[in-house]
Structure 1
């Protein structure tokens, strides 16, 4: 079985705008000012699905050399996005004749340094959909793009990027300009799941055959030391085991390891693909039945069923000499196998304690 997250009612939450939408609005305002002298405020852009939305400008100006710039403050709605409130600035300048629209990373926007991402190594980390949106916003009605240099900046972007997985993905110097729909859906965690996907893409592009998805720093360090893998093989999946495994089913590698603590792996064994506590708690009665499968007597089974935490259940099992971890990792492997079916990946499950000591493992075994 799989479990769904227990989140606030989506209908009651306010949606927001991606960094790509904000950059597009700023670019459009600067473009209009370059051509006609005045800045539209609010400025209207068209999202990929065709909706028209308006943005207020936070600041704007001409640079005295034929260029113009505009700023938009990102509003992520009710989503806990690290870039909520960030100031997105776009500077436009006349480009070289015949160059068309070129994109450049200003301060706070990263540069791609590893293969496998949607833009090439050496390019500014402005993803393909925001690039298309900006091109459309700068359209003149002719059959070719205008010759314009587009420089995107994010105030404090270098600092904000430390709270993302950009460095792991080889995006150095700042944030990525993201967005596929232009809209931020609250609590969709789309940015994190996108980072998981990009982590797999980077590993595959580098020819790495073994990828490790970890639930946190402790399990990542322990798994990396166990297998002596490079950093690029490590994908910080956090609670999104399903996000990793489903993507690997479509984009397989030779071997995948899922590594986590006792509570997270126990939830995976019970069919949770989103392992966050908000999405539901582990079933202690089911954990007690697993203890029985591992050889626990009736008294211990009853004790485990009445505990309130997975850690307490494991402590009871360990004190009694019951290898509960062996049963749990085997069951977690079965859940992962179902998700990966048809991928050809070999899968193993690692369970660590809070100090990073290996508690149990299952696999690697080939997935059908």
Structure 2
């Protein structure tokens, strides 16, 4: 095995009792002494600090950067206002999702955050396809952390009052305790909060400052996963793959109106023809849905989904107990005729059919701060 990468916060994780595990090529904390369930509930009630430095951070500069990136994604990048962030997906020629990402317009440059497991592929994809006149810089010298929860703004504004003025999907260059940071009011938990890109050399110092705030606890990958699942947010490589189109993945909202078949800048991204056919003709056979278990046992990723007659109709792609909702929650793909809300399906667990109901995802109320 090749040696695992370490984030700038590795020593702090170990010092604070983080249980370290391999994740996307990095040595990352899956939990702390508090435990996954308490970490999850602390984030829902107060504020959690997450190390997400394994993600890829990239700067794109050049006059044509927005137009060039727009050719690789089905969202509107050209008209993304300065100081705003947008969710996007890279698509392949078959309309499949290569990765999901966040794009920020900082006026004179675009800031792109991609998933850890896909970052080498994504960077190569951008280098090969953005064309001349666009410069790509990989930010290897920065860490990325997320401060999430209903008390995140209260905690961070005590250190940096400027963050209070931001609303959901705002992004700014802000000095926090004298350190130049990229701050967005966004996250992966369904709660209000911030994602903060910090120079690696200052990351531990700033995070110790964040952790001094009474609302804040360090949170590991375990609770990060259950928080995002309760909030109906996809995990790439599980709920979304190269074989999944945005339509099958219930991400039609991630295709901007002016990029659709009748839009002013329609198409122009890989796989557009197939995606437009799926929108117009419902030419697809499966769809991502939320699932609530009727029993108490969590239904895990990979469990087959069957109908009442035991015929396979799909598969669970993410599953866990939902500490906030108090029942097992899951996401998965079912044949389109079973995708209607309140449809009963069954998960096969050790040969037994466990009843589940197709449900709305998110399973909790998302509490993003919109002003």
TM-score tier after normalising by the smaller chain length = under 0.3
Higher relative contact order at CA 8 Å, sep ≥6: structure 1 or structure 2? 2
Structure 1-normalised TM-score?
A: 0.24
Point out the structure with max Rg over C-alpha: 1
Higher strand fraction (1 or 2): 2
Structure 2-normalised TM-score?
A: 0.24
